[in-house]
Amino acid sequence: MTQHSVPSSKLPQTGTSIFTVMSQMAAECGAINLSQGFPDFPVDPALIDLAAKYMKEGHNQYAPMAGLSALREAIAEKTRRLHGRTYNPETEVTVTAGATQAIFTAITTLVKEEDEVLIFSPAYDCYAPPVLLCGGKPVFAELRAPDFCPDWDEVKRRVNRKTKLIIINTPHNPSGTVWTEDDMRELEKIVVSTGAFVLSDEVYEHIVFDGAEHHSAARFEALAAHSVITASFGKTFHATGWKMGYAIAPEALMREFRKVHQYLVFCVNHPLQRALADYLADEKNYLNVSPMYEARRDYFIKALEGSRFKVVPAQGTYFQLLNYSEISKKSEVKFAEELTRKHGVASIPVSVFYPQPQEQRILRFCFAKHPDTLASAAEKLKAL
């Protein structure tokens, strides 16, 4: 028998992502899947038609390395209109294979051995692993229930000369919190005094509720000068399977980013870039996303009225946290499993997004779903 050699793991603490685990459990048990964040309703047929048109017209070979000019121009124009900052599409915008690739590229570009990277936990799962692969050290600042607001004194205590990068995410997955202008200014002061870079993960930029605003890092002069901003067309246009996104950053930073990008992926899906460039020309296509999701959030919360789950309405993203402390004393992981297997609704335990599991009796539910799906899930949750 052939003896296979086993590599020594570069990520010994990393297992299979919670999104895979919970989606598989939901499929096995036939549970309603409100765990992994993906919409269950279709992409706008107009966008599908554009994609099909460009494939049929033969735009099926490599796109330029940094992305199609037309799409980079549309991204720069959207950023200028919404946030008042002009990025040069030639040198400061790069189209990526989803935000995940943009995040991996940005971290790999910036982090060297021994560098510290400040991450706010609960944190989306793709930040720490690339830091570790680069020999860097993730340092965590905690956001706590129920409001998940940053504690700036704690942040200041965690930042030092070794802090190369601060990773932020607003609107925030999994809490649904939206950072205020004051939060961004606090961050800006820290960045100015330490010279740290910022990775501002803004994938939910177009999903903000109750008249609140998304305060992009692009809005703040000194912050923008230190930041790579990452975004996702998958989130904005409910096409998570397309894995299309982008990064924007000042020229010197973007020059280094592209050195990594070109060997990680070189370029991304060409016909979809053409389709997205056309589709971005009509601002309604992204400005209407917040009200559409706000209606779904409200529908889900209304359908849960009378349940023993406690709700603090999400300010943004398509995730709603529900607190089950009146229902069970079990850990979040155990209760999420029980809810999936016995009660037919899959969710995500928030505890797994902390470096050391925190038990706050909170689960995350994705409401990017058809109202019938939300109504059936709410019925099951109300029975508890």
Smallest distance, Å, CB 354 to ligand PMP?
Answer: 15
Taking CA atoms, 282 is separated from 126, 137, 255, 360, in Å, by 31, 42, 30, 42
Contact with ligand PMP (CB under 6 A): which of 54, 124, 220, 367? Answer: 124
What are the structure tokens assigned to 380, written together? 């099951």
Which lies closer to ligand GLN via its Cβ, residue 226 or residue 364? 364
What are the structure tokens assigned to 108, written together? 């790999």
In whole angstroms, give the CA distance from residue 190 to residue 56.
50
Query: Any alpha helices (H) in 164-282, and if so which ranges?
Result: 181-194, 221-226, 233-236, 251-264, 270-280
List the single partner that 201 binds among ligand GLN, ligand PMP, none, CB under 5 to 8 Å by kind: ligand PMP
Subset of 19-48 contacting ligand PMP (CB under 6 A):
37
Contact with ligand GLN (CB under 6 A): which of 21, 26, 33, 36? Answer: 36
CA-wise closest residue to 248 among 77, 128, 70, 63: 77
Considering the rule CB under 6 A, would residue 98 count as an interface residue with ligand GLN? no
Q: Say if residues 163 and 131 touch (Cβ distance below 8 Å).
A: no
Residue 344 zone, left/alpha/beta (φ > 0; ψ -120 to 50; rest): left
Contact with ligand GLN (CB under 6 A): which of 173, 175, 200, 236? Answer: 173
With CB atoms as reference, the residue minimizing the distance to ligand PMP is 98
In whole angstroms, give the CA distance from residue 123 to residue 272.
29
Smallest distance, Å, CB 124 to ligand GLN?
Answer: 6
- What would the x/- binding string for ligand PMP be over residues 224 to 263, using CB under 6 A? --------x-x-----x--x-x------------------
Smallest distance, Å, CB 348 to ligand GLN?
Answer: 7
In whole angstroms, give the CA distance from residue 249 to residue 228.
5
Subset of 144-183 contacting ligand PMP (CB under 6 A):
169, 173
Smallest distance, Å, CB 243 to ligand PMP?
Answer: 6
Considering the rule CB under 6 A, would residue 37 count as an interface residue with ligand GLN? yes
The footprint of ligand GLN (CB under 6 A) covers 17, 19, 36-37, 173
